[in-house]
């Protein structure tokens, strides 16, 4: 099992959905990075279920930092963030995992870990662990903001309901930072929530597409081949449970344009080299070009649904029908937004410290 990511700053995830704690260890941080608890709490709240379109399992996410912090700043030692699991109902899951939930990780985890895996609530594979990603990403995200780098995502599409695309990145990202349900228009929020409620009333679930932007990244950050900016971002994004696709800039729509339409011509603007369009999503040759980094991430419908589904009994090796219990979201996309932003912050912090040194994120530099 491998649970660490990053080259210069590494994040290691640990814990299970129904264990005592989940958490993250951040290593490679410079001393002197301010730890903004309020900022971390705000980001955790954006991931937390809320309202009738979310699961009834609400955790307060009262995190502790048990290592690497002194007087509100990083010391340079590994940061260990602990988040307790307080709202568990393990009885919903039985003693042994027998009937795997279609499209969840129950079957693949069972095959790989021979039944030793903690299957309760999805165990180590649960979306619950994404709270630890959000906390780690928020710690780095606030340091990035002090360097003028900001990240935002909105739901651009959800089961036939659409939001408008990003227009003014600065003001759109500012608007999204305070929104529990991340859309740029009120009408999109209403129509998407209606779709989620409809799926919920059917005992079903829906997915959608998040559109994200990172602004303020200097040109010249990233690597040309295996650790290209796209490779590192998609590696981190595909590590989020339920992510099944990532595209940058124009993405798959490049298939339908001429080179003359898809290319991003250069211009000098306010004494800096810019591109007139941004179809390449701010990245050329794996390296940032100074334009906003733009990407889209598709989140599949929540696998656990309240409808009968064909499955198998692993103990009897026969076909059966799974009747799902437990507590689940009819959609996770609005909560996954905080995780996508956190992953983007982790990748930017990793890439920037690779380029400029670990002190880049510290206050005195
Ligand atoms: C924030 C978040 C919350 C999630 N909550 C649930 C949930 O309540 N029920 C569920 O079946 N899946 C949930 N998932 C998705 C599963 O964890 C995921 O689909 C599963 O681990 C299989 O991984 P895969 O979809 O990447 O193949 C959640 C994912 C995220 C990002």
Q: In the beta sheet, which residues pair with residue 299?
A: 208, 243
Res 220: pLDDT? 98
In 3D, which of 213, 204, 216 has the Cα closest to residue 182? 213
Q: Which atom of ligand 1 is nearest to the CA of 238?
A: 26
Alpha carbon distances (Å) from 337 to 12, 47, 238: 20, 7, 13
Mutate to test the pocket of ligand 1, among 106, 127, 239 (most ligand atoms within 8 A of CB): 127
Asked if the structure places residue 1 within a domain, the reply is no
Number of domains in the chain: 1
pLDDT for residue 53: 83
Per residue of the chain (365 residues), what is the pLDDT tens digit?
Answer: 789 999 999 999 999 988 999 999 999 999 999 999 999 999 999 999 887 787 766 778 899 999 999 999 999 999 999 999 987 666 666 667 899 999 999 999 999 999 888 888 888 988 999 999 999 999 999 999 999 999 999 999 999 999 999 999 999 999 999 899 999 999 999 999 999 999 999 999 999 999 999 999 999 999 999 999 999 999 999 999 999 999 999 999 999 999 999 999 999 999 999 999 999 999 999 999 999 999 999 999 999 999 999 999 999 999 999 987 667 789 999 999 999 999 999 999 999 999 999 999 998 65
Residue 16 contacts residue 356 (beta carbons within 8 Å): no
Per-residue pLDDT at 41: 96
CA-to-CA distance for 130 and 126, rounded, in angstroms? 8
CATH number at residue 236: 3.60.150.10
Tell me the C-alpha distance between 111 and 94, whole Å: 18
Q: How far is Cα 176 from Cα 152, in angstroms, rounded to an integer?
A: 7
Class of residue 259 by CB neighbours under 10 A (exposed 0-12, middle 13-18, buried 19+): exposed
Q: Is residue 363 part of a domain?
A: no
Q: Which of 55, 104, 334 to mutate to test the pocket of ligand 1 (most atoms within 8 A of CB)?
A: 104
What phi, psi does 317 have (nearest 5°)? 50, 55
Q: Which residues contact 178 (CB under 8 A, 6 or more apart)?
A: none
Nearest to 240 by CA among 324, 344, 161: 344
Predicted TM-score of the model (pTM): 0.96
- 65, 35 Cβ separation under 8 angstroms: yes
Q: How far is the CA of 241 from the centre of ligand 1 (A)?
A: 5
| Burial label, 296 (beta-carbon count in 10 A; 0-12, 13-18, 19+) | buried
pLDDT of residue 120: 81
Nearest CA to ligand 1 atom 8: 328
Residue 81 lies in a domain: yes
* 3-state secondary structure (DSSP) of residue 349: helix
Ligand 1 pocket at CB < 6 A = 55, 104-105, 122, 125-127, 130, 240-242, 300, 302-304, 328-329, 332, 335-336, 339
Mutate to test the pocket of ligand 1, among 17, 128, 303 (most ligand atoms within 8 A of CB): 303
pLDDT at res. 95: 63
Domain containing residue 17: 6-358
The answer to whether residue 55 is domain-embedded is yes
- In a domain? residue 364: no
Pairing of strands 161-162, 150-158: antiparallel
Alpha-carbon distance 252 to 322, whole Å?
36
Burial of 99 (0-12, 13-18, 19+ CB in 10 A): buried
């Amino acid at each position: 099992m491998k649970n660490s990511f990053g080259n210069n700053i590494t994040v290691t995830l640990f814990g299970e959905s129904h264990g005592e704690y989940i958490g993250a260890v951040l290593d490679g941080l410079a001393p002197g990075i301010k730890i903004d608890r309020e900022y971390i709490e705000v980001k955790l709240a954006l991931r937390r279920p809320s309202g009738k379109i979310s699961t009834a399992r609400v955790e307060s996410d009262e995190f502790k930092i048990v290592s690497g912090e002194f007087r509100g700043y990083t010391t340079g030692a590994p940061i260990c963030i602990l988040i307790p699991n307080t709202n568990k109902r393990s009885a919903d899951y039985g003693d042994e995992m027998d009937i795997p939930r279609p499209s969840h990780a129950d079957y693949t985890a069972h095959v790989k870990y021979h039944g030793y895996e903690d299957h309760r609530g999805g165990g180590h594979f649960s979306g619950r662990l994404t709270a630890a990603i959000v906390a780690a990403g928020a710690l780095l995200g606030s340091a990035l903001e002090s360097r003028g780098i900001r990240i935002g995502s909105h739901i651009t599409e959800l089961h036939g309901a659409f939001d408008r695309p990003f227009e003014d990145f600065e003001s759109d990202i500012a608007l999204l930072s305070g929104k529990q349900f991340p859309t740029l228009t009120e009408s999109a929020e209403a129509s998407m929530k209606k779709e989620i409620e409809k799926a919920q009333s059917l005992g079903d679930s829906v997915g959608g597409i998040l559109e994200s932007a990172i602004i303020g990244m200097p040109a010249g950050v990233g690597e040309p081949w295996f650790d290209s900016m796209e490779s590192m971002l998609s590696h981190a994004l595909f590590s989020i449970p339920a992510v099944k696709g990532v595209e940058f800039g124009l993405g798959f729509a490049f298939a339908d344009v001429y080179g003359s339409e898809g290319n991003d011509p250069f211009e000098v603007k306010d004494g800096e080299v810019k591109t007139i369009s941004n179809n390449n999503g701010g990245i050329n040759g794996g390296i940032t070009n100074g334009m906003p980094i733009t990407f889209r991430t598709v989140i599949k419908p929540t696998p656990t649904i309240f409808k009968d589904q064909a499955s198998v009994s692993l103990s009897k090796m026969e076909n059966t029908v799974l009747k799902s219990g437990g507590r689940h979201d009819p959609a996770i996309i609005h909560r996954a937004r905080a995780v996508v932003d956190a992953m983007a912050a982790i990748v930017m912090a990793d890439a920037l410290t690779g380029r400029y040194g670990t002190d880049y994120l510290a206050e005195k530099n």
